[in-house]
Amino acid sequence: MRKLLALVLALALCAGCMGCIVSASAEDKPEITFPLAEPITLTAWRVSATSDPKLGITTYNDIEAVQAWEKATNVHIEWQIPPSGQEQENFNLMVASGDYPDLIFDVAQYYVGGLDKAISDDVIIPLNGYMDNYLKDYNALISQSDNVYKDCKTDEGNFPAVYFINTPDQGPWYGMVIRQDWLDECGLAAPVTYDDWHTVLKAFKEKYNCKAPLALNFRGGDVFSVFAGGYGVSVLGASGNGFINVNGTVKYSPIEEGYKEYITMLHDWYAEGLLDPDYYSNTSFVYLPTDDLWATGNAGAWPDIYSLIDMRPYMGADDNNKDMNVVPIPAPVKEAGGKVNLYQYNFTRGTNAAAISTACKNPDIAAAYLNLGSKQEYAWLAYYGTEGDTYTLVDGKPVFTDKILHNPDGLSANDAMTKFMFRSAGMYIWDRELQTAGPKALSAINDIWPSNQGDVYQLPNITMTSDEANRYSVLMGDINTYVEENTTKFILGTRDLSEWDDYVNTIRGMKVEEAIGYQQAALDRFNGR
């Protein structure tokens, strides 16, 4: 009986202790308010704020907005900035030493194996336990969209870092432009379909004898598949590198029927002299056409960046083209009223992010500090600076002063923003840049380029496992080389289009279906987050 009583008392004591543990773990963490009562220093690894010495910035602490953040928070950041061009090497050395700073920016870009591996390797900590308290504003920011919320998690369910979240969502900053003055002189309306484009490009060739009525890069497209998007396919070298997501199913564009139609069209256009005859060798044309094409009147249409459209006549156009009227134009479609499913698309969740390392002795404070970028007050301080100095409020919205827009020291608006402000994790207030944009740029990003966009075929930010990624890399190295070489041959006519089926079968024989499977598995995991 005494033994039984002792056992009962022992079990009761254990239950009571377990209750204490559960109760203690359920307690809310103490609130952290800024500025802190006592100053604290956090260390942070982050790539350089600027590589332009004329701005006088050697560390982020030289930036006025960073100094204002320190005053507002009582948190001093000791920055560890790797030498320009040596970021990966410097990051690798830091990881190998095991001597981590409190905060590490952009781990996903530098850590081999990805963010889940960085967590399992005890480099950074998961932030899951902070999302409802010290990161509650960041949590609210990313919770506004299911896709964004999933995008900020890993396949293993970890919240690995505080990302930069486009606020508001960003419109396309890259798209097609055309010379409106040439359209007017030819008496033509802006082209809509690919057939319309063919008519326009032929007129440009006949009237102006230009080298490249349509300027495309060396892969026969552009880096975001803007021009090929009407066929529902992605060109090699573009976002996704040929892989697309069609309603949850991964496809490889270079073996799809739409790719054959697109390449057949380019083959015909090349034969008619509507493309640069040397386009395939001009590897310097990645994003934008080279000066010898657009500035000399040798191109009538090309892909461009929105902020450059208004500036084109002043960027080096020769005497015969200084009156050029370059305007944005929607991407072409197969039939009038159609939609494009591939275009320059901005994910709400950016690639930059700030993680907390396992070496951080004050992770609660670090998390609360990173959360500030998701509060409007601190986000405005980072992205607009100080009210009355770098911005004023107009109808409740920040508007830059002449210190930024017409800097008395002759700095461009972009350089002034770099000198006086910084980009904090959390809200990435990208649309401040529109204050320096011209009317054509604003029309492009807000109206023209989004006007015929349909479903998004771009793959989300998926993650392969290490084994998948290694095997995928082996497969796609050979496949990409074969596709790039033969795409050029088909366009130039050095390989006959009657051999298309043999080309597709060769790619299938190189086990492209296996590579598609790795992409599909990663997409399925993303959708299941």
Chain segment 36-75, per-residue pLDDT in tens: 999 999 999 999 877 677 788 889 999 999 999 999 999 9
Torsion sign across C-alpha atoms 211, 214, 217, 219: negative
Structural tokens at position 210: 């230009």
Specify if 188 maps to a domain: yes
Place of tokens 């015929």: 452
Residue corresponding to tokens 């033994």: 3
CB neighbours of 233 closer than 8 A, spacing ≥ 6?
A: 225, 244, 253, 254, 256, 258, 259, 262, 342
> Do 52 and 184 fall into the same domain?
no
DSSP string, 165-228: EESSPPPP-EEEEEEHHHHHHHT-PPP-BHHHHHHHHHHHHHHH--SEEE---TTSS-TT-TTT
Residues 310 and 381 grouped into a single domain: no
Q: Are 155 and 185 members of one domain?
A: no
Do 374 and 280 fall into the same domain? Answer: no
Rounded distance between C-alpha atoms, residue 103 and residue 46, angstroms: 9
Residues lower than pLDDT 70 in the chain: 1-28, 51
Nearest Cα to Cα of residue 227 among 279, 186, 166, 295: 279
Nearest to 205 by CA among 299, 318, 330: 299
Q: Quick check: is 1 in a domain? A: no
Residue 27: its pLDDT value, please? 54
> What's the Cα-to-Cα distance from 283 to each of 128, 270, 369, rounded to whole Å?
45, 18, 44
DSSP assigned state of 448: I
Exposure string over 298-328, b if 16+ CB within 10 A, otherwise e: bbbbbbbbbbebbebeeeebeeebeebebbb
Cα–Cα distance, 228 to 341 (Å, whole number): 10
Domain at 262, CATH number: 3.40.190.10
Collapsing DSSP to helix, strand or coil, 250 comes out as strand
Do 292 and 234 share a structural domain? yes
Give the model confidence (pLDDT) of 347-388 as tens digits: 999 999 999 999 999 999 999 999 999 999 999 999 999 999
Residues 158 and 235 in one domain: no
414 inside domain: no
- Total number of domains in the chain: 2
Check whether residue 338 and residue 485 sit in a common domain: yes
Secondary structure element (H or E) that encloses residue 504, with its range: helix 500-509
- How many CB atoms sit inside 10 A of residue 81's CB? 16
On whether residue 152 sits in a domain, the answer given is yes
For residue 168, is the peptide bond before it cis, meaning its omega torsion is within 30 degrees of 0? Answer: yes
Quick one: 295 and 321 in the same domain? Answer: yes
Task: Kindly state whether residues 288 and 187 are assigned to the same domain.
Answer: yes
What is the per-residue pLDDT for 198? 98
For residue 10, what are its two tokens?
């022992």
* Strands 212-214 and 174-179, bridge-based pairing: unpaired
Last residue of one domain, picked from the residues 407, 428, 449: 428
Residues 201 and 291 in one domain: yes
Q: For residue 230, give the nearest of 270, 181, 278, 176 by alpha carbon.
A: 176
Looking at the fold, whether 362 and 301 belong to one and the same domain comes out as no
The rounded percent of the chain whose pLDDT value lies above 70 is: 94
In a domain, 14, yes or no: no
Give CA–CA dist 301/351, Å, rounded: 31
Specify the pLDDT at position 54: 79
Alpha carbon 49 to its chain centroid, in Å, reads 18
Is residue 17 in a domain? no
* Residue 415 included in any domain: no
- In single-letter form, the type of residue at position 408 comes to P
Query: Domain check: are 131 and 200 in the same one?
Result: no
Range(s) of the domain holding residue 59: 40-169+348-385+421-428
pLDDT value, residue 156: 95
* Token pair recorded at residue 523: 């997409």
pLDDT (tens digit per residue) in 266-306? 999 999 999 999 999 999 999 999 999 999 999 999 999 99
Q: Residue 441: inside a domain, yes or no?
A: no
Encoded tokens for 5: 């009583």
